[in-house]
């Protein structure tokens, strides 16, 4: 195959940091080329250079596309050349329909008037190419994230794309949507469309990629051809510069007494009156224990967590929360924080961060009283608290005055975690704590979780990745359609047992486990 793209000695600097340092890579025509590296390695920056987000002149080095020197002034210039980029944060307008999003900025018009008949007909063609079976008039906000990804790809195909760049395309997708997207990429490859894929999911990369370029600390480490002999450990070694040995830190749990219990928790959907999102859920957490929650997409894991956290989701119908033998009335998030409960959301950018704030403002935001005197923020205490977390959590930023929107996904996740650790909670609920971050950063997050448990905290971990739930949890509750279908100890849990309970096929085959703790454990 001939080289479609060559990037030679690309160097990109921002104030105080060199994001790319003489990075080079070659992508052949008609292949799927993966880019791997830890968070902050420079992967997205490199693709933003290629696609014209960072225009020619703002970096040094050369881009050769189809053998000719390319100097893209903006995204439109790269799109005219046949290059399209789909960012991790999708560039869709939720309130507009699929057809409106497909042609936004590229409207099909005659005499200055949009031809909606032609637009809809073309939309149907594009949607068929990506196997998106929806009414083109459907608002984008009413379809799932997986289908929104397909809208973005269809939008790119409308621009006669030859090189499609996908930045973490499956980070927020369930297994079925991820599989569908990978199949679509295989189909595009067969039609001669070249794909560059940034991803942290090494199993998916091995399944789809023809070659992998590894970037570490803003430099090219190597490019590997994918074959049966290439395993995930070899890729990890290139990414982090060493062998991790194990994906999870060694753990010797010292589990204490039950201190947190939920009884018969029942919650209704906020917009659909006859739909229950939590159906009589009961469970408990011991001090020093990491409790996993597993379930398929839509099983009610996040709804359960958010409804417990100050009733921040749904309409509470019945059920109680008991902590240290005392029933709590948590009707607001502030009350949950006051009672020593913290919740790290699965959607860090929409619900966990204010992207206009800097690191120090974000870290102290959940409990300003800790850094205030007579309701006035003490800047020195604020700085000291944030600086302490920057070092202890290894947040990669030159200063705590750095804006959080400039951080990589893994470092943003650490900032969100620091925000809630700052409140000194007794129970920390982590919803998809490692979504969209690399294996090295995952290991650091796992170490933090285990350290919290060792200090006597209770930790709940909600995750879509079964190996993660199995690798970190002491006990695992399983949900299906809003109900807890079983609980397994780490010694008896495996992916097969969990999947049976997640699909409710095994719910009647075994007892659901101790939904409530043994008598006498609550004082």
Are both 159 and 39 inside the same structural domain? Answer: yes
Q: Of 65-79, 115-129, 162-176, 268-282, which range is least confident?
A: 162-176
Whole-number Å distance between alpha carbons of 402 and 415: 11
- Structural domain including 494 reads 246-340+427-432+458-523
Domain-located, residue 8: yes
Q: Is the dihedral of CA 440, 34, 45, 67 positive or negative?
A: positive
pLDDT for residue 332: 95
**pLDDT tens-place string over residues 462-485:** 998 888 999 999 999 999 989 999
Show which of 210, 240, 270 is a domain's final residue. Answer: 240
User: Considering the domain boundaries, does residue 447 fall inside one?
Assistant: no
Same domain? For 75 and 162 the reply is yes
pLDDT for the residue numbered 352: 84
Establish if 84 belongs to a structural domain.
yes
Q: Do residue 253 and residue 365 come from a single domain?
A: no
Q: What digits encode the pLDDT tens for the residues 396-418? A: 888 999 999 888 777 888 899 99
Phi/psi-derived region of residue 168, left when phi > 0, alpha when psi is between -120 and 50, beta in every other case = left
Predicted confidence (pLDDT) at residue 307 exceeds the cutoff of 50: yes
Cβ atoms of 341 and 427 within 8 Å: the answer is yes
Judge whether residue 507 has pLDDT over 50: no
Residue 284 counted as domain residue: yes
- Distance, CA of 519 to CA of 410 (rounded, Å): 42
Q: Is residue 448 part of a domain?
A: no
Overall average pLDDT of the 445-451 stretch? 92
The predicted model scores a pTM of 0.69
One domain, residues 221 and 276? no
When pLDDT is averaged across residues 65-83 and rounded to a whole number, the result is 93
What is the distance between the alpha carbons of residues 321 and 267, in angstroms, rounded to a whole number? 13
For residue 130, pLDDT over 90 is answered with no
CB 314 within 8 A of CB 307: yes
| pLDDT band for position 243 (cuts 50, 70, 90) | low
* Range of weakest confidence among 41-55, 194-208, 325-339, 503-517: 503-517
Comparison of pLDDT for 125 and 146, the residue scoring more: 125
Structural domain contains residue 269: yes
User: What is the domain-level CATH number for residue 188?
Assistant: 3.40.50.300
- Looking at residue 521, its pLDDT comes to 39
> When comparing pLDDT for 7 and 413, which is higher?
7
Among 424, 445, 478, give the residue marking a domain's end.
Answer: 424
Q: Mean pLDDT score of the chain, rounded to an integer? A: 88
Looking at the fold, whether 381 and 414 belong to one and the same domain comes out as yes
Q: What is the 3-state secondary structure (H, E, C) of 8-67?
A: EEEEEEECCEEEEEEEEEEEECCCEEEEECCCCCCHHHHHHHHCCCCCCCCCEEEEEECC
Task: Say if residue 46 is in the same domain as residue 72.
Answer: yes
User: How sure is the predictor about 515, in pLDDT bands with cuts at 50, 70 and 90?
Assistant: very low
185 and 45 co-located in one domain: yes
Q: Are residues 100 and 228 in the same domain?
A: yes
Higher-scoring residue by pLDDT: 259, 42? 259
**CA–CA distance, 314 with 270 (Å, rounded to integer):** 4
Select the more confidently predicted residue: 228 or 157. 157
Q: Using 50, 70 and 90 to split pLDDT, how confident is the model at 211?
A: very high
d(CA 302, CA 481): 12
Report yes or no on 176 lying in a domain. Answer: yes
Q: Say what the pLDDT of residue 442 is.
A: 83
Comparing 86-90, 358-362, 374-378, 491-495, the range with the smallest average pLDDT is 86-90
**Res 393: pLDDT:** 87
100 or 520: which leads in pLDDT? 100
- Give the mean pLDDT of 130-144: 88
Lowest-confidence pick of 186-200, 289-303, 502-516: 502-516
Looking at the fold, whether 213 and 251 belong to one and the same domain comes out as: no
Residue 523 has pLDDT above 50, yes or no: no
- Residues 18, 134 within the same domain: yes
Report the range of poorest mean pLDDT among 86-100, 169-183, 200-214, 265-279.
169-183
Write down which residue in 219, 240, 261 finishes a domain.
Answer: 240
Q: Would 437 be classed as within a structural domain?
A: no
Residue found by looking up tokens 């290894």 in the block:
394
- pLDDT of residue 520 exceeding 80, the answer is no
pLDDT tens by residue, 149-175: 889 888 888 888 899 999 888 876 767
375 and 486 together in one domain: no
| The pLDDT of residue 380 | 94
Task: Kindly report which listed range (38-47, 285-294, 358-367, 420-429) carries the lowest average pLDDT score.
Answer: 38-47
Same domain? For 321 and 467 the reply is yes
Highest average pLDDT, of 16-25, 26-35, 343-352, 510-519, comes from 26-35
User: How many domains does one find in the chain?
Assistant: 3
User: Tell me, what's the pLDDT at 513?
Assistant: 45
Q: What is the pLDDT of residue 511?
A: 39
User: What would the mean pLDDT of 370-377 be, rounded to a whole number?
Assistant: 91
């Amino acid at each position: 195959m001939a080289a479609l793209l060559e990037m030679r000695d690309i160097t990109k600097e921002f104030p105080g940091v060199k994001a790319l340092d003489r990075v080079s890579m070659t992508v052949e025509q008609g292949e799927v080329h993966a880019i791997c590296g830890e968070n902050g390695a420079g992967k997205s920056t490199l693709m933003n250079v290629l696609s014209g987000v960072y225009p020619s002149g703002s970096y040094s080095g050369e881009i050769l596309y189809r053998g000719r020197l390319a100097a893209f002034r903006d995204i439109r210039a790269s799109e005219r050349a046949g290059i399209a980029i789909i960012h991790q944060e999708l560039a869709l307008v939720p309130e507009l329909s699929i057809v409106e999003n497909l042609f936004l900025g590229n409207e099909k018009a005659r005499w200055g008037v949009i031809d909606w008949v032609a637009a809809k007909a073309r939309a149907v063609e594009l949607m068929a190419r990506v196997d998106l079976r929806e009414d083109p008039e459907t608002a984008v906000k009413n379809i799932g994230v997986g289908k929104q990804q397909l809208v973005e790809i269809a939008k790119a195909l409308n621009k006669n794309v030859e090189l499609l760049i996908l930045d973490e395309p499956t980070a927020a997708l369930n297994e079925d949507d991820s599989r569908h997207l990978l199949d679509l990429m295989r189909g595009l490859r067969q039609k001669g469309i070249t794909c560059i894929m940034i991803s942290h999911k090494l199993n998916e990369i091995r399944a789809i990629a023809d070659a992998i370029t590894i970037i570490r600390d803003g430099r090219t480490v190597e490019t590997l051809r994918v074959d049966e002999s290439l395993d995930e450990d070899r890729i990890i070694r290139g990414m982090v510069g060493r062998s991790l040995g194990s994906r999870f830190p060694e753990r010797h749990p010292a589990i204490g007494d039950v201190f947190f219990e939920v009884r018969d928790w029942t919650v209704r959907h906020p917009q659909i009156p006859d739909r229950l999102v939590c159906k009589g859920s009961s469970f408990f957490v011991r001090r020093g224990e990491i409790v996993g929650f597993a379930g398929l997409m839509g099983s009610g894991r996040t709804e359960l967590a958010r409804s417990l956290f100050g009733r921040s989701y749904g309409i509470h119908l019945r059920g109680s929360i008991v902590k240290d033998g005392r029933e709590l009335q948590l009707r607001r998030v502030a009350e949950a924080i006051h009672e020593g409960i913290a919740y790290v959301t699965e959607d860090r950018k929409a619900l966990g961060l204010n992207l206009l704030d800097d690191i120090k403002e974000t870290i102290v935001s959940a409990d300003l009283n800790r850094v205030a005197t007579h309701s006035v923020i003490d800047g020195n205490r604020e700085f000291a608290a944030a600086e302490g977390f920057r070092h202890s959590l290894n947040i990669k930023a030159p200063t705590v005055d750095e804006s959080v929107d400039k951080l990589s996904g893994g470092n943003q996740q650490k900032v969100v975690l620091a925000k809630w650790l700052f409140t000194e909670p007794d129970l920390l609920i982590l919803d998809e704590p490692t979504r969209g971050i690399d294996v090295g950063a995952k290991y650091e997050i796992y170490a933090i979780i285990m350290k919290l448990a060792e200090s006597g905290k209770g930790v709940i971990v909600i995750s879509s990745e079964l190996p993660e739930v199995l690798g970190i949890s002491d006990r695992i509750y399983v949900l299906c359609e809003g109900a807890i279908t079983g609980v397994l100890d780490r010694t008896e849990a495996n992916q097969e047992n969990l999947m049976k309970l997640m699909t409710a096929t095994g719910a009647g085959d075994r007892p659901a486990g101790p939904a409530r703790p043994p008598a006498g454990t609550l004082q």
